């Protein structure tokens, strides 16, 4: 097991990602943030908190999206759905999807399918804490990346969040 990001590094990375987002979306006008269930919401909650603390954006439109039944592997095993909390339309909005790890791209493909149930966005961007380069099965790439890593298929990236796992750390197993 190898530590990729420590608690302090995760904190700095969240700050950097939030500031990059604000650089590209001034005051988040016409922009909505959507965290992907289940583990992307830990990052999205922190991004939203960081933006609120910065005072750069007053009205943050934020939701959480469950993609369980949009996944192409849902038939293989029983999945327990999470909750979708999107009380707004994404019609003609700039949407930023937020997840913890970008690996094969299949989760993001499912999220794009699920997102269309809420309207047709003007643009969709992707923010991830960890990008596992060279492992994509679909042509998907992130616009905002906390850390890019090279790993082999037998390795796993595990993101630990204090809210769920009692500590913040990203490890390669």
Query: How much is the average pLDDT of 120-146?
Result: 95
77 confidence band (pLDDT: 50, 70, 90): low
- Name the CATH architecture for the domain at 8-149: 3-Layer(aba) Sandwich (3.40)
Q: How many CB atoms neighbour CB 4 within 10 A?
A: 19
Q: Please answer whether residues 124 and 112 qualify as being in contact, where contact means their C-beta atoms are separated by less than 8 angstroms.
A: yes
pLDDT at 76: 59
User: Distance of alpha carbon 81 from its chain centroid, rounded?
Assistant: 17
Can you give 19-52 as a three-state secondary structure string? HHHHHHCHHHCCEEEEEECCCHHHHHHHHHHHHH
Q: Give the strands of the sheet with 157-160, arranged side by side.
A: 2-5, 169-172, 157-160
Which residue did the predictor score with more confidence, 151 or 109? 109
Confidence of residue 74 (pLDDT cuts 50, 70, 90): low
Predicted local distance difference test score (pLDDT) of residue 111: 96
Q: Where are the domains of the chain?
A: 8-149
Position 75 pLDDT exceeds 60? no
State residue 84's pLDDT score. 87
| Continuous segment of H or E residues that includes residue 11 | helix 7-24
SS3 13: helix
Helix axes 40-54, 7-24, angle to 10 degrees: 60
19-33, 66-80, 152-166: least confidently modelled range: 66-80
């Amino acid at each position: 097991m190898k530590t990729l990001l420590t608690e302090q590094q995760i904190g700095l990375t969240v700050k950097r990602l939030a500031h990059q987002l604000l650089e590209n979306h001034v005051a988040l006008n016409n922009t909505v943030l959507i965290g992907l269930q289940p583990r992307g919401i830990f990052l999205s909650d922190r991004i939203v908190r960081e933006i609120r603390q910065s005072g750069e954006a007053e009205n943050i439109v934020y939701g959480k999206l469950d993609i369980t039944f949009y996944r192409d592997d849902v038939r293989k095993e029983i999945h327990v759905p999470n909750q979708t909390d999107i009380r707004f339309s994404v019609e003609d909005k700039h949407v930023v999807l937020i997840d913890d790890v970008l690996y094969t791209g299949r989760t993001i493909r499912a999220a794009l399918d699920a997102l269309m149930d809420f309207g047709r966005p003007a643009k969709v961007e992707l923010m991830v804490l960890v990008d596992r380069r060279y492992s994509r099965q679909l042509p998907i790439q992130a616009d905002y990346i906390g850390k890019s890593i090279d790993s082999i298929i037998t390795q796993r990236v595990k993101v630990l969040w204090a809210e769920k796992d009692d500590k913040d750390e990203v490890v390669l197993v």
